[in-house]
Amino acid sequence: MSSTLQERIAEVSRRVKRACERSGRSSQDVTVIAVTKYVSLEKTSAVLDGGLQDIGESRWQDAENKWKALGNRGTWHFIGHLQTNKVKDVIGKFQYIHSLDRLSLAKELQRKAEAAGIDVKVFIQVNISGEDTKFGLEPEKMPDFLREIAGYNNLKVIGLMTMAPHEEDPELTRPVFRGLRELRDKLNGLELTPEPITELSMGMSNDFEVAIEEGATWVRLGTVLVGHEEGS
Ligand SMILES: *Cc1c(COP(=O)(O)O)cnc(C)c1O
């Protein structure tokens, strides 16, 4: 890919807009998270200069130098599998955690957030596709999980997150994204959270348009936006 970062940002935003139009949604309801895990501090800085506000990283080890330099700009999203012993590193730095997938992690997030006197916005990661290589709670476990964390007052459950299997034809991912939306609506009907769960974090470079058509409110885009470091 020889296009510049600015061209790619513009192209992605056109594609988001068209997917919204196709599905009768407002493009203001969809936020692009630029996933910078493959790229350098310089490139991450250029993304912020280019007008994107939301940065996604999946490992603290890769994010640390970028956050230290740029953490005062933009909004930071932790999107990868989060080890319990890394909670202390990310709490207070990442405003959103997309990968809450177990009670022990919820406990530790609550403990550290409470100690810091802050709230942390979380998405619960759900394994809709049922692939055993994917992290995430089984959909059937969600009601009990929400009941268990109901008293964790510093965790604000704002949404659900999922990852679809990689498919050559993105259309094949549609049932996964639709499944997450339907699960959200069903859970809201059970009224297990103080506020309804509104957000859906779903869609990556290969499948974000389908995810948007199915209701994504946050798309997490790496390759299509910033490429890999060897490229440009
Ligand atoms: C790497 C990653 C992405 C971005 O992947 P691309 O296919 O490069 O867009 C999105 N979400 C998660 C959880 C990731 O780990």
**Domain residue spans in the chain?**
3-222
- Whether residue 202 has pLDDT greater than 60: yes
**Confidence check: pLDDT of 216 > 80:** yes
Q: Among residues of the chain, what percentage have pLDDT more than 70?
A: 97
Ligand 1 site, CB within 6 A: 35, 37, 58, 79-80, 163, 204-206, 220-224
Has residue 231 got a pLDDT over 50? no
Q: Which residue's CA is minimally distant from atom 10 of ligand 1?
A: 220
The whole-model pTM stands at 0.96
Cα(170) to ligand 1 centroid in Å equals 15
Asked whether residue 1 carries a pLDDT value surpassing 60, the answer given is: no
- Max Cα-Cα span within the chain: 51
- What is the average pLDDT score of the chain? 96
Q: Which long-range contacts (CB under 8 A, 24 or more apart) does 37-42 make?
A: 37/62, 37/63, 37/80, 37/222, 38/222, 38/223, 38/226, 38/227, 38/228, 38/229, 39/226, 39/227, 39/228, 39/229, 40/229, 41/65, 41/66, 41/69, 41/70
- 123-180: per-residue pLDDT in tens? 999 999 998 877 999 999 999 999 999 999 999 999 999 999 999 999 999 999 999 9
* Cβ atoms of 14 and 27 closer than 8 Å: no
- pLDDT above 90 coverage of the chain, percent: 94
Kindly tell me if the per-residue pLDDT of 105 is higher than 90: yes
**Atom from ligand 1 closest to the CA of residue 161:** 13
pLDDT class for 2, splitting at 50, 70, 90? low
Residue indicated by tokens 């940002």: 9
pLDDT at 121 over 90: yes
Does domain 3-222 fall into CATH 1.10.10.10?
Answer: no
What pLDDT digit, counting tens, does each position of 29-77 carry?
999 999 999 999 999 999 999 999 999 999 999 999 999 999 999 999 9
> How many angstroms does the Cα of residue 115 sit away from the middle of ligand 1?
31
pLDDT at site 227: 84
